[in-house]
Every structure is written in C-alpha cells, then in structure tokens.
C-alpha cells in the first residue's frame, strides 16, 4: 500500500500532498522535510529508490517536478515507478502537455485525478480512458452548473 504521495519542485516547494494513512500533522511535516532533502540530495545517475524508516521511497523527476511516494516494505518498486508514470500520463492527458504551473494553479484538479486513479493507497483504475472519462463527467457537471442548470445530471458512465 502507498502511504503518501508528494509532489515538490526542484526548490523543495511542495506542490501536492496526499496521505493515505493517518499520520499526525507534525510527522507529516517531518516526512515532507525529509523527503525533499533526501530526494533533492540525490546525485544524478542514482537509482530511484530510497529507504526511510520502514518505508520504501520511490521517486522520479518529471521536468521540474519530483514525484515521490512512500510504500510498504513488500511493495514492488518498479511497479510504483509505473504508478507515478501513469499519474503523470493522466495529468498530461487532462491538461495537455502538463507543466508544473498547471499543477500549481489547478492543484485541486490534480487531486481529483489522483482520487480517480488511487483509492486508499491502492491503484483503483489503471485505464487512462476510464479515469479521464470520470473526470470529464465531473467537469461537464461543472459546466452545466455554471450554466445555472440546477437539475441533477445522471451521468453516462462507461
């Protein structure tokens, strides 16, 4: 199971944080601090895996953003890398050529996409199509609402 997912910039600025297990606030701050220093301190051509307490840390850099997650010890590191990759693909599909700014200014969207992809720290849907259809459905709802339509939409799920 994934315990947390963090997105942060090269400067160590947090861009997104998702906690899948209950962790006290102070501990969260410590984790964020530790992760940014550990990951940013890695030399080039190092592997993408780290250890932190009894968690496996898997991280990957996409452009200026670092994606970093903490996993149970028995999880498969390579698979976690693919989870990160799929999330990036999903963001990319949604925003179209996603960049750090998209995530900064639309971080709530990034959270919604994440919620369709991972649930409770496990992968719930791996299909790009299905996730984007779910998000589009909600967004259509948003547009409908802006048009001041007050009726409940029964959505056409796949």
Which residues sit at the interface with other proteins, rule CB under 8 A?
14-17, 20, 22-25, 29, 43, 45-51, 74, 76-79, 81-82, 85-86, 94-96, 102, 104-109, 111-112, 115, 119-120, 122-127, 129-130, 134, 136-139, 141-143, 145-146, 150, 152-155, 157-158
Q: Which residues pair with 118 in a beta bridge?
A: 123
Q: Using an 8 Å Cβ cutoff, are 50 and 39 in contact?
A: yes
Give the count of beta carbons closer than 10 Å to the beta carbon of residue 96.
Answer: 8
CB of 29 to other proteins, least distance (A): 7
Three-state secondary-structure class, residue 59: strand
Cβ distance to other proteins smaller for residue 62 or 107: 107
CB of 39 to other proteins, least distance (A): 12
Cα distance between residue 117 and residue 83, in whole Å: 9
């Amino acid at each position: 199971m994934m315990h947390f997912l963090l997105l942060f910039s090269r400067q160590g600025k947090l861009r997104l944080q998702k906690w899948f297990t209950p962790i006290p606030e102070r501990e969260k701050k410590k984790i964020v601090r530790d992760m940014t220093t550990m990951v940013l301190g890695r030399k080039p051509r190092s592997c993408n895996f780290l250890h932190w307490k009894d968690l496996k840390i898997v991280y990957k850099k996409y452009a200026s953003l670092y994606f970093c997650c903490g996993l149970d010890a028995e999880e498969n590191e390579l698979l976690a890398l693919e989870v990160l990759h799929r999330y990036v693909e999903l963001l990319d599909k949604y925003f179209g050529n996603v960049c750090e700014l998209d995530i900064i200014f639309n971080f709530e969207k990034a959270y919604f996409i994440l919620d369709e992809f991972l649930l409770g720290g496990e992968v719930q849907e791996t299909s790009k199509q299905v996730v984007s259809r779910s998000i589009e459905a909600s967004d259509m709802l948003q547009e409908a609402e802006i048009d001041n339509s007050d009726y409940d939409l029964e959505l056409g799920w796949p």
